[in-house]
Chain A
Amino acid sequence: MAVPVLVVLALAACGKPGADEGTTSSGDGPIRFAIADAQSGQLSSLGAWELKGAKLAVEEFNAAGGVDGRTVELTVFDTQGDPTTGTSIAQKVSSGGFTAMLGTAESAVTQAMNPILRQARIPSITSGQSPAIAALGSPFQFYNGPTSVTYDETLAEHLVDDQGFKTFAMVTNNGGYGAGEHDAFLAALKDRGITPTDDKVVTVDQKDFSSILTSIRSKKPDVLFIGAEEVEAGLIAKQARELGVESVFAGAAPLATPVYIETAGEKNAEGTIVSTPYLSNEETDASKAFAEAYQKAYGEEAEMHGAKAYDGAQIFLAALKSTGGEGGQKLADAIRATQHQGLLGDFTYDEQGVGIHQTKIGEITAGQLTAVS
């Protein structure tokens, strides 16, 4: 007798995806947020940082009283950086009574999860940066950082317009992130009348780059643009220097991380030019406070991905407060209306869900990212 009752209760609790017009968080209990990121696999460093940043924001929010005394509860899902796993998690999130989703850090996984979350009317904020995410046109999808177009336009402006570099080679991977970087940087170069000497695409699991790097070395480009995630970007940089490529390395956020520097080796990473919205923990009073809280909570130095997730979670939480805990369309509208002074800059959302529209230029010097004046 108990089993059919439980089944009926479970079905009633799940509801039909998309059936709920407004809220999935009515009542007095905790408001549930999902955080979906790679907690295992090659991209798990991103997931670990994201989780720490988001948790910090939620803990501070709960300590400050939450939404009329209701706290926000985080449930962690491991996407393994895999789009297929991501879609399965999206189903769980859409039927699990979650009000919002934080993540993912991988563009391809975000793209895979997007249609399911859109149908379930669950707002989500991604740390991915591929313009393809915005192109999906979901009113429930937001970015917590700039898109590749912003990163790479700023980078090209610095490299070509300011520094006067003339010849470029590109290595990007065929994943969601790499494809976005490829299109964005190539477009920025073409706008300046530059055609790259080499435009090479690698796979996301590739380990040996001898062939393409030898070809690039023979052209002696001024700059080698690397559009791949942290570990792969580090391996490309390391092998490029070992094979005698003397070009300046340049790229977006992954090249600003400790994982890139460690994988490439400090000597090989020296001089890498990075386009990033977050240069250092010492930049502003807000970033200093964030870094201090992060250090206290986790015993380690904060970095950009943690800051991105912290910003994203804060935006969601502020919007949640303004809706009185309601999710769905009301929450999405509240997020779009949010103006937030965050660690990455001033967030003002456009129709595509993009809140940050500029980056800064940094350079790796002695294993540290420093601002380029």
Chain B
Amino acid sequence: MQVHIQTLIGGLSLGAIYALVALGFSLVYRTMGLVNFAHGQVVMIGAFTASTFYMTTRLPFWLAIVTACLVTGLLGLVIERVLRPLEGRDFDLMLIGTIGFGVMLEALAVIIWGATGRAVPSPITTQPLDIGGIRIRTYSLVVLAVAAAATIALVLFLQRTRLGAAMQAVAMDPEAATAVGIHVGRSNAIAFAIGAGLAALAGGLAGPLLYVNATLGGTIGIKGFAAAILGGFGNVQGAILGGLGIGILDAFAAGQFEGYSELVVFVVFAVLIMIVPTGIFGERTVNRA
């Protein structure tokens, strides 16, 4: 039993990272109907940027992450601006464009930070909590709390602010939104910027749990993408559930199937998607393809 609970806790902490990655995927998809395949690489850029501000310029960890969110937010704006001329014209080219951005970002990271990567020290040095032999890393609790806070903030933004409502309107019917004076391009740009900011949050938080290098985006990105699909692509709450679900599935598969765990995770994922093709929350807000 102790093994199962400990496995669950391990799965939750990485699952929270996957959830944040899935949130970024979902937000852009929800607004533009576009899967941003560069999102994993933006996570990696965020992780490198946060680690640089934290380890090199000695900013406090949380301030380093906020700074990284701003940097990647700007990066998101650049990606959207480059893709904007294709909006409504060539959707496939937009998708390929995001893949191209991903490749460029990985190459850029190697040029700036080198290929070796870096280990990021944890900002919380307190000993893990020991509850009846179950060890809980304090930092994991922080990651879970931040993921929850980011979700709440995003839901409130989308549902309670005029800008959020405008983005929802663009998601539902861009032509009608344009007719009532909503700037679709600006709405998409904000979605990209927030998505990229969430990516930096995920990457920055993942640093002390993992190891930051140029391929980090591929590893986390594919799980985050799977999480977004599992939760229901485009659904904010679904992204969180999907992320935690993939994290837990990953952790238990590792314990039970050891060297075959990756295979098992994606077989289970494929079966789940065959049973519920639109994911847990079954939402397909946008389809502009």
For the complex, would chain B's binding face be called helix, strand, loop or mixed by DSSP majority?
A: helix
**Cβ 8 A contact of A214, one of B2, B11, B252:** B2
In the complex the two chains form, is A214's CB within 8 Å of B121's CB? no
Contact between chains at A44 and B116 (CB < 8 Å):
yes
Interface string of A12-45 (1 = CB under 8 A from B): 0000000000000000000000000011111011
Q: Report the nearest A residue to B5, measured CB to CB.
A: A214
Interface: A209 (CB within 8 A): yes
For residue B119, which residues in chain A have a CB less than 8 angstroms away from its CB? Answer: 234, 259, 262-263, 265
Known: A44-B116, A210-B251. Contact between A234 and B135, CB under 8 A? no
Q: Which of B8-36 contact A (CB under 8 A)?
A: 9-11, 13-14
Chain B 62-80 against A: per-residue CB contact (8 Å), 1 yes, 0 no? 0000000000000000000
* A313 → chain B closest CB, angstroms: 21
Cβ of A283 < 8 Å from any Cβ of B?
no
Give the contact stretch, choosing among B82-90, B209-217, B237-245, B279-287.
B209-217
**Chain A contacts for B213, CB-based, 8 A:** 41-42, 44, 231
User: Cβ of A40 and Cβ of B110 under 8 Å apart?
Assistant: yes
**Contacting pair B116 A48 (CB below 8 A):** yes
Q: Which of A116-124, A155-163, A185-193, A199-207 contacts B (4 or more CB under 8 A)?
A: A199-207
Given A44-B213, A211-B251, A234-B211; A218-B2 close (CB under 8 Å): yes
- Which of A39, A173, A235, A242 lies in contact with B211, CB distance below 8 A? A235
In the complex, which residues of chain B have a beta carbon less than 8 angstroms from the beta carbon of A215? 3, 255
Number of interface residues of B (CB under 8 A): 40
* Given A174-B259, A243-B135, residue A208 in contact with residue B254 (CB < 8 A): yes
Q: Which residues of A contact B261 (CB under 8 A)?
A: 202-203, 206
A242 to B118, CA, bound (A): 20
CA distance A42 to B115 in the complex (A): 8
> Distance (Å) between the CB of B134 and the closest chain A CB?
9
Contacts of B256 in A (CB 8 A): 211
Assuming the A-B contacts A44-B115, A48-B115, are A207 and B14 also in contact, with contact meaning beta carbons closer than 8 angstroms in the complex? yes
The residues in A between 321 and 371 inclusive whose CB is less than 8 angstroms from any CB of B are none
User: Counting CB contacts under 8 A, is B175 at the interface?
Assistant: no
Contact B219 A205 (CB under 8 A): yes
Judge if A47 is at the interface, Cβ distance under 8 Å. Answer: yes
**Is B173 positioned at the interface, with any CB of A under 8 Å from its CB?**
no
Question: How far, in Å, is A42 (CB) from chain B's closest CB?
Answer: 6
User: Is B92 in contact with chain A by the CB < 8 A criterion?
Assistant: no
Asked whether, in the complex, the Cβ of B11 is within 8 Å of the Cβ of A210, the reply is yes
Contact (Cβ within 8 A) B251 A208: yes
- Chain B residues 112-130 with CB under 8 Å of chain A are 114-119, 121, 128, 130
- Determine the residue in chain A with the shortest Cβ distance to B13: A208
Q: Which of A45, A239, A242 has the most CB of B within 10 A?
A: A242
Distance in angstroms between the alpha carbons of A48 and B9 in the assembled complex: 36
How far in angstroms is the closest Cβ of chain B from A220?
Answer: 12
- A134 adjacent to chain B (CB < 8 Å): no
Whether B10 and A211, one on each chain, are in contact in the complex, defined by CB atoms closer than 8 angstroms, is yes
* A262 CA / B51 CA spacing, docked (Å): 14
A231 lies within 8 A of B117 (CB): yes
**A203 with B9: CB separation less than 8 A:** no
Nearest Cβ distance between residue B33 and chain A, in whole angstroms? 30
Q: Is the CB of A203 within 8 A of B2?
A: no
Partner of A209 from B13, B214, B254, B262 at Cβ < 8 Å: B254
Instruction: Give the distance to chain B from A323, nearest Cβ to Cβ, in Å.
Output: 34
A239 to B219, CA, bound (A): 19
Interface string of B97-120 (1 = CB under 8 A from A): 000000000100010001111110
Asked if B7 CB lies within 8 Å of chain A CBs, one says yes
- The answer to whether A200 touches B115 (Cβ under 8 A) is no
Q: Closest residue of chain A to B252, judged by CB? A: A211
C-alpha gap A259/B106 in the complex (Å): 21
Chain A residues, CB < 8 A from B6: 210-211, 214, 243
A244 contacts the other chain (CB 8 A): yes
Contact indicator B116/A202 (Cβ below 8 Å): no
Q: Does B81 contact A (CB under 8 A)?
A: no
Cα distance A242–B121 in the bound complex, in angstroms: 14
Assembled-state Cα–Cα distance A259/B247 (Å) = 26
User: Are B3 and A218 in contact (CB-based, < 8 A)?
Assistant: yes
Taking the closest CB of chain B, its distance from the CB of A22, in whole angstroms, is 37
A and B contact pairs by CB, cutoff 8 A, 5 listed: A42-B211, A202-B254, A208-B10, A242-B128, A242-B137
The 5 closest A-B pairs by CB, nearest first: A210-B10, A211-B255, A44-B115, A174-B259, A211-B7
Could you list 9 further interchain pairs (A-B, Cβ under 8 angstroms) beyond the known A202-B254, A235-B210?
A44-B213, A47-B115, A203-B261, A205-B219, A207-B14, A209-B10, A234-B119, A244-B135, A262-B118
